[in-house]
Structure 1
Amino acid sequence: MDANKNAIAINTSKLSSLIREKTVIIMTGPGGVGKTSNSAALAIGSALSGIDTCVVTIDPARRLADALGIETIGNDPVEIGTSSPGRLFAVMLDADATFDELIVKYAKTKEQAGKILSNRVYQNLTKNLSGIQEYMAMEKLFELHNDSRFKLLIVDTPPSYNALDFLDAPRRLMSFLDNRVFRLIMTPGPAILRPLTFATKAVLRTISRVVGSEIVDEAVAFFQDFEGMEDGFRSRAEAVQSLLHEQTTAFVLVTAPRGDTISESMTFGEKLTGFGFSLSGLISNRETPDFSIPGEPIDQNEGLSKDDLAKLQDNLSKMKVLKEFENREIQKISAALDSERIIRIPTLNRDIANLEDLAQMARYLI
């Protein structure tokens, strides 16, 4: 790939100001609209523009690795070999590994960290507690944002409704840590560990009959070992919340010009506004190409029979009707979400298979 040639070509389009002015770009939208490919293409375009970039996905599907043409992406940044002026890295969230890293970070001693990591209650918590995946994604976002190797972080989020959980995760964690019951348990010298009241003993006996006394003992041990660490989690959640609302963080909505997808995208955009965020761009992906050729009527083509010409004309008319419908859909969502920056990408003639394909797609984005 000719990096310099591509860098010149892609610097003149519509997201070039975002990649130069922002430090975080969060790609959101419904499932199945090509959000992962757009994230990877934007990252390639950013690197071609000379910006050191990291693209991260919290979607458990491994489409990003395929789009970038590499076998595996892990929880730590992997550099993608390109000839671009800027360096390119990729990360795929491992929620369990991220949580373990935080336990080690906030524990006062190695012994405290070891007790928590080996506790069955903690191990079950990391796999089954609602919202853990989304909050760990926020933690990873904050960690990568503070990595000096990157000037720009592009985040490929899961489909719309999961993305809302992702964006709301810091607030929900802070709410949980401030919950009256949690604070009571985590009070220095936790009440549950001090001489038990009659009521507390009764509650524990009831729980023990259902799940077993061993599980109750491990739960008590978990909260005891966790004591003193909640402040670190709270301060980190507050920092992540602030990062999401900074001027250097942008949100881009990826959609497709179909009625059901447009409707879901509009609902998501409205909820995004409700969280206090605003859209910096709207990508309409996989649009019907414009097949019309101004000044050259189709019936002037030579070498076609009347029957073939009639079929071709009929197909062109259908394409024009579909294009007009798509135009109305995009105008509708643009007006509803008050988005002035709209990038329209036609259906490509082949699937994205390698870095060269992503670089070509980047031409539409920046």
Structure 2
Amino acid sequence: MSAPAEQPRSAKPSRPAPVAPAMDLEALIEDPATRIVVCCGAGGVGKTTTSAALALAAAEAGRTVVVLTIDPARRLAQSLGLEELDNEPRRVDVPEAPGELHAMMLDMKRTFDDIVVAHSTPDRARQILENPFYQSLSSSFSGTQEYMAMEKLGQLRASDQWDLIIVDTPPSRSALDFLDAPNKMGRFLDGTMIRLLAGSGRAGLKFASAGFMFFSKIISKILGGQLLRDISAFVAALDTMFGGFRERATATYELLRRPGTWFVVVATPEPDALREASYFVDRLSAEGMPLAGLVVNRTHPPATTLLSATRAEGAAERVIEADAEGADLAAAALRVHAERMIQAAREQHLADRFTSAHPEVAVRTVPAAAGDVHDLDGLRVMAEELTGPDDDTPTGTPRTRILPARRA
């Protein structure tokens, strides 16, 4: 038996482009078993608009849905036909929708205040709410916004008034902050340092060791005597609430892992945003949390994929050389198409890198809108891009991609 002929190196086939699984968001939001959808990702990728569009699609599919957003921009309220959004759900008028849509914007401090009032006596609540250290903590402490978003989610789910809750997670430097927030808040409020600071104001420690008294004097000089007293009074007043903070943090975290909760990671076709999305996918997998998939938002698919950028540039040159009537306009159109193809190829390359690293993660691409979404019609257009059939696009390119996959 003769040895097989050696293939010439030039004939070596190229690797096929990775193809991600399709993400069926329509089935996800219509499924009665789906109770919570969390949209997460880096800041500035369109999480808020994605959340609102999914909520609108769910209401038009017959669900009773509330969307919890953290975006203070008035344009979101206006796009929903509301004057403003606040910490209480407001009904959105969606004509002829078989379901209901409610929307609210997280008020971090008010949510924290509500916790204090609900879990302490009136006198203790007044002491806490008037405490200067609490007022600073509840409005500006790192991680408070993320924790309060989780706290509000737990409250909405406990009320059982809505059969679907969609959460727009807070913008943060790291998408992981949302998952870390409950534990960070619990560790802060139950930490050794806080306990020591609280103890510095208690009579029971009047016989404390000389070492502790020396430590207390140093901290007092660093923080200032009044601030130290404010912290001590704050922690002493919160003492009975420590268990509640821990319990709710644990319960909310576990809520995210239960059947019926899904995470949708949102990114733009940019290196930093997709890198952040990759970190979040890895974290969700490590924590055993259910991932629906990745939405690649604000992509730039070309009007046609039949004409490559190189051929379009060449055709533009030939049109100019022909010097026929309308040549300048035709050449300009061809060059715009070439630029769009180059941009789409760059975006697809970045998306392919993500899929190569996470081949099991479903993907849905959403084209960039012509302008800001400013009304329900704009949200409805985005909702159709998010939930439409995978292969129903002008070019026939599946919604998992920006350009068709090149096969070997």
Give the TM-score of the pair, scaled to structure 1: 0.84
Preserved contact between residue 27 and residue 39 of structure 1 (Cα < 8 Å): yes
Tell me if 1:254 matches 2:266.
yes
- Structure 1 residue 26: Cα displacement: 1.0
**CA–CA distance in structure 2, aligned partners of residues 293 and 170 of structure 1:** 47
Deviation larger for 15-24 or 63-72 = 63-72
Tell me if 1:92 matches 2:105.
yes
- Select the residue among 239, 244, 255 that pairs with 1:243: 255
2:204 is aligned to 194
**CA–CA distance in structure 2, aligned partners of residues 184 and 31 of structure 1:** 36
- Structure 1 residue 61: Cα displacement: 4.9
1:104 is aligned to 117
Preserved contact between residue 160 and residue 268 of structure 1 (Cα < 8 Å): no
1:8 is aligned to none
Preserved contact between residue 201 and residue 229 of structure 2 (Cα < 8 Å): no
- Structure 1 residue 206: Cα displacement: 4.0
Calculate percent identity across the aligned residue pairs: 36
- Structure 1 residue 161: Cα displacement: 3.2
2:11 is aligned to none
- Select the residue among 276, 291, 299 that pairs with 1:279: 291
Code of the aligned partner of 2:339: K
Instruction: Spell out, residue by residue over 1:99-122, the C-alpha distance to the aligned partner (whole angstroms, 9 max, x if none).
Output: 111111111x21111111112222
**CA–CA distance in structure 1, aligned partners of residues 92 and 60 of structure 2:** 13
Instruction: Spell out, residue by residue over 1:160-209, the C-alpha distance to the aligned partner (whole angstroms, 9 max, x if none).
Output: 6343212111222333455445567779xx99431412434444444444
2:350 is aligned to 329
Code of the aligned partner of 1:356: D
2:149 is aligned to 137
1:175-194 to structure 2, matched below 5 A, reads 175-182=187-194, 192-194=202-204
Preserved contact between residue 204 and residue 216 of structure 1 (Cα < 8 Å): no
- Structure 1 residue 87: Cα displacement: 0.9
- Select the residue among 346, 354, 357 that pairs with 2:367: 346
2:24 is aligned to 14
- Select the residue among 125, 131, 153 that pairs with 2:137: 125
- Structure 1 residue 134: Cα displacement: 1.5
Across the aligned residues of Structure 1 and Structure 2, the Cα RMSD in angstroms comes to: 3.0
**CA–CA distance in structure 1, aligned partners of residues 173 and 286 of structure 2:** 14
Gaps of 5+ in 2: 1-22, 316-323, 388-408
Tell me if 1:311 matches 2:321.
no
Deviation larger for 260-269 or 41-50 = 260-269
Code of the aligned partner of 2:101: L
2:380 is aligned to 359
Distance of aligned partners of 1:322 and 1:110 in 2 relative to their CA distance in 1, 3 Å threshold: same
Distance of aligned partners of 1:207 and 1:44 in 2 relative to their CA distance in 1, 3 Å threshold: same
**CA–CA distance in structure 1, aligned partners of residues 291 and 54 of structure 2:** 16
Preserved contact between residue 186 and residue 246 of structure 2 (Cα < 8 Å): yes
Code of the aligned partner of 2:37: I
What is the aligned length?
347
**CA–CA distance in structure 1, aligned partners of residues 354 and 325 of structure 2:** 41
Code of the aligned partner of 1:229: M
Distance of aligned partners of 1:218 and 1:29 in 2 relative to their CA distance in 1, 3 Å threshold: closer
1:5 is aligned to none
Preserved contact between residue 282 and residue 339 of structure 1 (Cα < 8 Å): no
Distance of aligned partners of 1:78 and 1:350 in 2 relative to their CA distance in 1, 3 Å threshold: same
1:10 is aligned to none
Instruction: Spell out, residue by residue over 1:115-137, the C-alpha distance to the aligned partner (whole angstroms, 9 max, x if none).
Output: 11112222222234322221111
- Structure 1 residue 315: Cα displacement: 2.7
- Structure 1 residue 223: Cα displacement: 2.4
- Structure 1 residue 55: Cα displacement: 0.9
2:150 is paired with a residue whose SS is: helix
Distance of aligned partners of 1:216 and 1:307 in 2 relative to their CA distance in 1, 3 Å threshold: closer
Preserved contact between residue 164 and residue 272 of structure 1 (Cα < 8 Å): no
**CA–CA distance in structure 2, aligned partners of residues 294 and 256 of structure 1:** 25
- Select the residue among 273, 278, 288 that pairs with 1:266: 278
Instruction: Spell out, residue by residue over 1:207-266, the C-alpha distance to the aligned partner (whole angstroms, 9 max, x if none).
Output: 444555444333332222222211111111110110121222111111222344333433
Instruction: Spell out, residue by residue over 1:31-81, the C-alpha distance to the aligned partner (whole angstroms, 9 max, x if none).
Output: 222221111111111111111111112345555324424331111111111
- Select the residue among 16, 36, 39 that pairs with 1:27: 39
Distance of aligned partners of 1:86 and 1:347 in 2 relative to their CA distance in 1, 3 Å threshold: same
